[in-house]
Amino acid sequence: MEYLPQIAFLLIVAVATFFLYKRITQIRKNIFLGKAVERNDNPSDRWKTMLLVAFGQQKMFKRVVPALLHSLIYVGFLVINLEVLEFVIDGFAGTHRIFAPYLGGVYTVLINVFEFLAVGVLLSCVAFLVRRNVMKVKRFSGEEMRKWPTLDANLILVIEIILMFAILTMNATDMLIQGQDEHYAQTGKFFFSGLLMPLFEGMSLSSLIALERFAWWFHIVGILGFAIYVTYSKHLHIALAFPNTWYSNLNAKGKIENMPVVTNEVKMMLGMPAEGAGDPPAEVERFGAKDVNDLSWVNIMNAYSCTECGRCTSQCPANITGKKLSPRKVMMATRDRAEEVGASIAKGGKGLEDGKSLFGDYITKEEVNACTSCNACVEACPVNIDPLAIILEMRRYASMEESSAPASWNGMFQNIETSFSPWKFAPTDRFKWADDLKEND
């Protein structure tokens, strides 16, 4: 019986680790449904981008109030987890506040700092709940945000509030126990949890110990459960924001990636040197993207990194003017399709051959054709997600595989092919507009 708590702790950690490993492995497989792409160039720029955008939350501060609230949660998440290290050691070793005797007064200061951040996290979560459910900030709504996405956002906030209360309850009851049992680890006074002490002062010693232990177990089991839950939630960006910003596109926002096969063919037709000109022409399975396997793995990782914050959609000129396009919905649909295909393959199902596809069943032609290619969504995203890259690939598929581009686009394509401009006039007439300027001089 003496080692029962340690055995229980070990089993809980082992079970949580198993499910977490299984889920992470599945997400990795889903991401690599996409095609290979090289994104390891300019490592110094990539480190800088990751540190500024993911770690420093540089782009969040375009909106100051939510940025400050989010920063409190972010810093709290990082720092409070240092206290969780003590939880883990105590759980495995069967000790209680193992660092307290060694750190003395420093321990009291550290726990007070942790509590300050816990209260900051708690208040920030309350503020975010108010913004979502009372103030009803517009960017948190939309067709794609019904049911589960809205519930998920609220659940995470409520869970974080409960976990912070568990820490404060544990510390408050712990201080009361210290006053009644001198053999208990003496920690000194904690300010914020001290405010809760009057709630528990009438309880017996055994009841206080039971409540303190319950809060301890609730917090550590809650954290392990939270870690697993996050992998099914939009809050997966907590982890993926870092690799996502590292592998983000470092090119200028206006630069659109050409298809190498088409580029080489055009160069050879024009008598220009092309890469691999002496090699037999590469066989292209498909132009553009119809399903997730036609996208790159970076595109799919972008989808899993989506925070569903709606900043992209709120900045999209097509969406603002009433068009159906929502860049957030594009990313959520890509993630949902990757999840569906990956789960089907894992169960030995039809996978990509299930009669559905990303383009058509999840994202419509109307949506991708509404895009102005302005990159406002890419610029707005706090973790450098690129919805435009996916939209352009689906446009390529519609134009080059289905020949279903709008008639006005087809006319433009033909003019570019024959006249080297979107307008139907001879290249020799291109500068005739300047003749009038000369005459006026």
Domains held by the chain: number: 3
Q: Which of 11-15, 52-56, 277-281, 372-376 has the lowest mean pLDDT?
A: 277-281
Question: Rounded CA gap, 180 and 33, in Å?
Answer: 60
Which amino acid belongs to residue 201?
Answer: E
Q: Which of 276-290, 293-307, 346-360 has the lowest mean pLDDT?
A: 276-290
85 — phi, psi (to 5°)?
-60, -40
In this prediction, residue 140 has a pLDDT band, given cuts at 50, 70 and 90, of very high
Question: Rounded CA gap, 59 and 50, in Å?
Answer: 12
**Could you report the per-residue pLDDT of 192-234, keeping only the tens digit for each?**
999 999 999 989 999 999 999 999 999 999 999 999 999 999 9
Are 382 and 423 members of one domain?
no
Domain with 98, as residue range(s), is: 4-31+63-234
Please list, in sequence order, all residues whose beta carbon lies within 8 angstroms of the beta carbon of residue 120, skipping any fewer than 6 positions away.
Answer: 72, 73, 75, 76
Question: Rounded CA gap, 287 and 274, in Å?
Answer: 20
Three-state SS for 58-117 is HHHHHCHHHHHHHHHHHHHHHHHHHHHHHHHHHHHHCCCCCCHHHHCHHHHHHHHHHHHH
pLDDT of residue 284: 62
Does some domain include residue 39? no
pLDDT at 439 over 70: no
Does some domain include residue 54? no
pLDDT at 271 over 90: no
Question: Rounded CA gap, 370 and 168, in Å?
Answer: 50
In this prediction, residue 255 has a pLDDT band, given cuts at 50, 70 and 90, of confident
Are 112 and 219 members of one domain?
yes
Are 105 and 127 members of one domain?
yes
> Is 414 or 269 the better-scoring residue by pLDDT?
414
pLDDT at 240 over 90: yes
In this prediction, residue 262 has a pLDDT band, given cuts at 50, 70 and 90, of confident
Closest alpha carbon to 234 in 169, 306, 127? 306
Does some domain include residue 58? no
Are 394 and 432 members of one domain?
no
Are 12 and 90 members of one domain?
yes
pTM: 0.89
Are 131 and 165 members of one domain?
yes
Is residue 327 within 8 A of residue 316, CB to CB? The reply is yes
3 state SS of 36:
coil
In this prediction, residue 333 has a pLDDT band, given cuts at 50, 70 and 90, of very high
Mean pLDDT along residues 396-409: 87
pLDDT of residue 282: 55
Are 330 and 431 members of one domain?
no
Are 109 and 147 members of one domain?
yes
Mean pLDDT along residues 341-355: 94
Are 440 and 395 members of one domain?
no
> With pLDDT > 90 as the criterion, what percentage of the chain qualifies?
69
Does some domain include residue 277? no
Does some domain include residue 67? yes
Please list, in sequence order, all residues whose beta carbon lies within 8 angstroms of the beta carbon of residue 295, skipping any fewer than 6 positions away.
Answer: 34, 35, 289, 334, 358, 390, 393
We report the CATH number of the domain holding residue 360 as: 1.10.1060
Does some domain include residue 441? yes
